[in-house]
Amino acid sequence: MRNNTVSPARIAAFEALVAIATENAASAAVLANQRFDSLARDDHRLLQELTLGVLRRQSWLDFLITRYGQRPVASLDPEVIFALRLGLYQLRFLSRVPPHAAINESVNLVKHFRKRSAAPFVNAILRASQREGEPPDSCLPADPVRRLSLVTSHPTWLLNNWIKLWGLEEATALATHNNLTPRQVFRHNPLVVARERLDQWLTENNIVTCPGRFVPEAQIVEQGSITPNSLPVREGWIYLQEESSQLVARLAAWPTSGNARRSLWDVCAAPGGKISLIAQLRPQNSLNVATDNSWSRLLTMKSLLRRQRLDGIHTALIDLRSGVPFISQPFDDILVDAPCSGLGTIRKNPEIKWRVTPDEVKAHGENQLAILNKVADALSPGGTLTYSVCSTEKIEGEGVIERFLTTHPEFEDGTFQRLEQIGVAPALLASTTRGVQMLPHRHGSEGFFICTLLKRRTDRQA
């Protein structure tokens, strides 16, 4: 990966962007690829910053390319587009990178990737951008939604959804916050290593943490960073898991004390982050079952559970389209962390906003409702059904719950009651009629909808 004229981090970022665009790959998976393991720590941080920064600001960067290049972005070779996006991102958003470095290395990128003839064009656009600075307001769309879409690099249909739900000011705050780098959050695994040993490693690596806001297990990284291939992650000392995801597990795991043996089914469990925390929180005599409809994802979960030293979780490959296997022996608790659009994770996975369509969001809502309908009879009367999606969209969250309750009057929303039981003030999260909607700019977390439903007992069962 060494090159005399282009830094390893910039070559790596170029290659990562190509893979994400041409292979429809997830940025997290690409950036975790072993081919980047040889990068020095500073280069790896720059790789992350450049790749995710370009994805977050993509439509604004393309606007600048069109403005200074006087031709549509689609008419340019992909290598030229990626080099220009990287150069413009550094000029506009990375003040610590000297302008001459951003320009020269971007010009050298197109040469390195065999587009030498485009070097003068790349140089001209970047130097024009440097000379002008911020484009004047007069060149921006007059329509407030189109302007917001351009400035924050979010699709207009998504912004219109948020404006309808919360108003223009709130939608602006959410879109703006989505372009910030999220803080890393992890939880310690006491089954593998003592907290003192973990703290020693954190100190040795100049990593400073603070407690989470809603979940006692959550630790937020305030200084430094933890890579996916670091010792604590590899050995299962910690698990990198966003706080809202940990909150879902805590809600589903309650009660976490008592002698009565309770059973729980995590329906869409892979990759295993929530069920692994649930198993740590619940009494040792609990029955915990984790299923998924993907064999590869199930294998990923099994690997995680081994690394976390959790051998008491029963796993199975189950496709609900073939029926629900547990009707005759219903569970005390069920968790449905349903497949969704992922639009609540834009800060971490910015490419999602360019891929997901309104029709796909609607299809997710139908599938999520179908899952709830199928598992409802596998829950014992008096039990709890916790539903969650990492999405900001009402059609996947509150809308699903409203439709489910219309045809299942034996269920009621017990989210606020459960939050109080685990020590979280509902007022901190209340933002919907049903359940709670966590949002990045309000709660410092991913966008998550969470609802805990209580299944009433009949008079005969009470």
Query: Which residues are known to be catalytic?
Result: 390
Please tell me the distance from the alpha carbon of residue 142 to that of residue 435, in angstroms, as a whole number. Answer: 37
* DSSP per residue, 232-243: HHHTTSEEE--H
Contact 354, 406 (CB under 8 A): no
* Structure-block tokens of residue 334: 């069920």
Element (H, E) at 335: strand 331-337
Element (H, E) at 411: strand 411-413
For strand 379-389 and strand 448-455, is the pairing parallel, antiparallel, or unpaired? Answer: antiparallel
Dihedral (CA of 32, 182, 19, 100) sign:
negative
* Structure-block tokens of residue 155: 């699709």
Instruction: For residue 177, report the phi and psi dihedrals to the nearest 5 degrees.
Output: -65, -30
Query: What residue has token string 């100049």?
Result: 206
* Beta-carbon contacts of residue 101 (< 8 Å; ≥ 6 apart): 90
For strand 331-337 and strand 263-266, is the pairing parallel, antiparallel, or unpaired? Answer: parallel
Contact 338, 448 (CB under 8 A): no
Please tell me the distance from the alpha carbon of residue 238 to that of residue 355, in angstroms, as a whole number. Answer: 31
